[in-house]
Chain A
Amino acid sequence: MKGADIRVAPDTSQRDEAGGDRHGLLHGFKAIELGGVAGQMCGRVLTDLGVDVIKVEDPDGDPVRSLEPVIKGQSLKFTFLNSGKKSVVLDHRDDAGREALHSLASEVDLVIVSSSNSVLEAWDLDLDRLHEELPGLVIVSVTGFGREGPFADFAYHDILGMAMGGLMYVSGDPDGSPVTAPETQASYFAGVFAAQGAMLALYRRETDPLRRGALVDVTAQQALASIEQLIRIYGRQGRVPVRTGSQHKHVAPARVYPTKDGHVSLFVTDQHWSSFIETWPDHPPELDDPSLNATQERMARLDTIDKHVREYTGRYASEEFVERMVAAGVPCTPVNSLGEFLSDAQTEYRRLLGKVNQPGLGEVLQISFPPLLNGHRVEPRPAPHLGEHTEQILEGLGVRAGGSVREIET
């Protein structure tokens, strides 16, 4: 289905009547954000939670503004990540610009920083010093490897996080190369953890009689290395998990199987095995072996299981096969394209996509904040053009930046 065909999400203004969350859970809190994709993902989450997030950009603009996909001169990556934020232009090369950044920091609740150490030096921004000077501030650093340690000065790019964090080695066809995840997933994932850290520290501050802030530090490498049980499995068993394609590590049949017109993802645990077999009246008799009720045994005979299951799934179109499984309570979904997911009845029912009037692009549908809060959808908002809020923010905060502050016309 073509994206432009989807019906525009219905008006959700009734959420105002629910009271309280109209402006977001954190209405009234302010943050500034400096740096690349991981920090911008963190900032997007905070924006959706109601924080007023002010993005600080150089006069040349955030480099993410030029990342693909670029349509009508607008980076869609930038548009997604910066939905609902404000843009302030400051120049780190001017004393007044650097001073304005420090003044802004003293006026907000949170500072999110994902720039490299050398960029922070150019801003004269030392996070430890900032923490001492403004002890009530929640300062969140999110980088590829960290600000200190043997890899602190390594050049970083998203695919390095996926590789050095271990998830890439176990993703892909065993006969081919490892494959990284779509978009800049390592940075997004780190950004989500940074948002968690920011909120943990903010809640501690809000419940602390002394209102102490914190220094929060997240890295993409550590975030990824902490999942998928890789470290525990190696440490305990001395075993190195390898690529298995879509095959799950412990469960079978649990992988992608071909159908007449596509593929399905099947996940049959011990509690589903007998129901699964019941959906399959002419299954091979060898699958009736009671020892196969245990997934360990099904994993041991994976080749046989796979051969038979492929034959079974191959008789049906994906939709037909999924219906059979769902009716029997067996976890199964089609392998959808992104467009198929976005136009799925469930996605539409829950209004995941929100209408945004994005200058330069016109009316578009954006992914909204995932959680429904008291049953209501937080709507996405437009991303700012460069320097759109410079005057408003600096005047509103009583910050003077002299000649260094420029509003850039777009």
Chain B
Amino acid sequence: MVEFTTALAGPLACRYLAEAGAEVIKVESGGRGLDSFRIFSADGNLDGSARFLESNLGVMSILLNLRSDEGLGLAKELIRECDVLVDNFRPDVMERLGLGVEAVQEVNPKMVIVKLPGFGSTGPRATQGSWGPNLLAHTGMTHLWNLPDHDEPIGTQSVYPDYVAAAFAPAVISAALVNRERTGRGTYVDLAQAELMGYMLGASALEWFVTGIDPEPLGNRSRDVSPHGCYPCLGDDRWCVVVVETDEQWARLARLMGQPELAGDSRFDTVVGRLTNRAEVDALVSGFTSKMGPFEVMSTLQGAGIAAGVVQTAEDLWSDPQLEWRSAVAEVTHPVLGTMAMPVIPIQISEGGIVAPTSAPLLGEHATQILGELLGHSEDQLDELRERGVLS
């Protein structure tokens, strides 16, 4: 695979494929052609960004001057050798470099070409720059990700659209590769991150169409069951979540709360009753949970077969026994940043389907390997390319 990517969605999608065994070559160019996460290091060292490291595990790096004809020529040589090309720059960037879809297909007609722009490669907003939070806001996700009575829209601090795109793209890439095995044809995939957010709100979109009413935020409530929410616990900013689906579970919760009479209370003994009297139900549950730590709530309720969990902090994730059981975190060692722990791809595949990540590349680290071993250029040729500033 060859990737021309920056920041999160593109690099992370390629990182996942590297963890699944793909040989991935990341091409960067000087200036704005560098991955923007490289500049997030504390001391300005382009190899010192932990955020870059986390998003680029297991890939190889080459730095070419893509504004020179020779640099572009080398990129095309690489494109000829690869099966998949991924880019997540604005749609006009690759075009301007001379690496637009048609130019790539001319060099490699069987290429699976994947673009992950914010708004898509066509249409009135195609060239509008956007980052994850802008796409959350544009698509209604920010509006809907809120408490029902909160005035200001909040959404999340997360750049969630990038993560969804990174999780989704490898599925389409692999499907396109299966299709290529059978038909000999490549596929051009234009995946707008905004449209993917729409897919993640598919039921609400259908509701908007069918009822003509724009959906409003539900917060931590459910329209199907009650109690369903986030409740305070003992401790500084500690919370738990509790969901009761059946009347039997409600009766068990009532006993645990020391108020067994609530099981037979006509306000609460059916789902409809508990939904109608949601405020009272939530007050009862809060009264119970606020006297306990969140882990105690979880173990007590789960012991009675009731869905309850801790609103876990980063520290809790670090010591979570289930994540540990699944080996969700691996240590990687980087020549500049040292050894640190990172989450691995959250997919387990039997018979060695996933390879443990090792590290992220230094800028241009694999030039010799890529141009020499893969493309057959001699050491002398590489030296000349370096002298002329084509290769760094």
Contacts and interface: CB of A to CB of B under 8 A. Distances in A.
B237 A155 contact: no
B211 A146 contact: no
Interface in B175-212: 175-179, 181-183, 185, 187-192, 194-196, 198-212
A248 B157 contact: yes
Given A171-B157, A226-B346, A234-B314, A345 B207 contact: no
A155 B128 contact: no
Interface in A311-329: 326, 329
B119 A346 contact: yes
B207 A71 contact: yes
A403 interface: no
Contact of A240 (B50, B126, B172, B314): B314
Contacts of B266: none
Contacts of A169: 239, 311-314
A102 interface: no
Contact of A164 (B123, B198, B310): B310
A146 B321 CA distance: 12
B288 interface: no
A170 interface: yes
Contact of A196 (B16, B187, B195): B16
Contacts of B200: 183, 185, 188-189
B153 A231 contact: no
Interface residues of B, number: 145
Contacts of A79: 203, 206
Nearest to B134: A333
B351 interface: yes
Interface stretch (B67-75, B216-224, B359-367, B372-380): B216-224
Contacts of A77: 203
Contact of B342 (A3, A50, A203, A232): A232
A149 B154 contact: no
Interface in B16-33: 16, 20-21, 32
B326 interface: yes
Contacts of B131: 254, 267, 269, 331
Given A68-B223, A241-B314, A338-B204, A350 B120 contact: yes
Nearest to A256: B153
Nearest to B225: A157
Contacts of A270: 39
A129 to B, nearest CB: 13
A181 B200 CA distance: 10
Interface string A74-112: 001101110000000000000000000000000000000
Interface in A324-381: 326, 329-342, 344-347, 349-350, 352-353, 361, 364-367, 369-375
Contacts of B136: 265
Interface string B337-361: 0001111111111110100000000
A231 B139 contact: no
B167 A193 contact: yes
B137 A336 contact: yes
Contact of B123 (A241, A339, A350): A350
Contacts of A32: none
List the 8 shortest-distance A-B pairs measured between CB atoms, nearest first: A338-B140, A265-B137, A149-B325, A199-B174, A234-B314, A226-B343, A68-B223, A80-B202
Given A76-B210, A157-B307, A197-B347, 10 more contacts: A71-B210, A163-B240, A171-B156, A181-B145, A194-B347, A203-B175, A265-B142, A269-B131, A333-B134, A341-B140
5 contacts: A4-B209, A178-B239, A215-B348, A347-B194, A370-B196
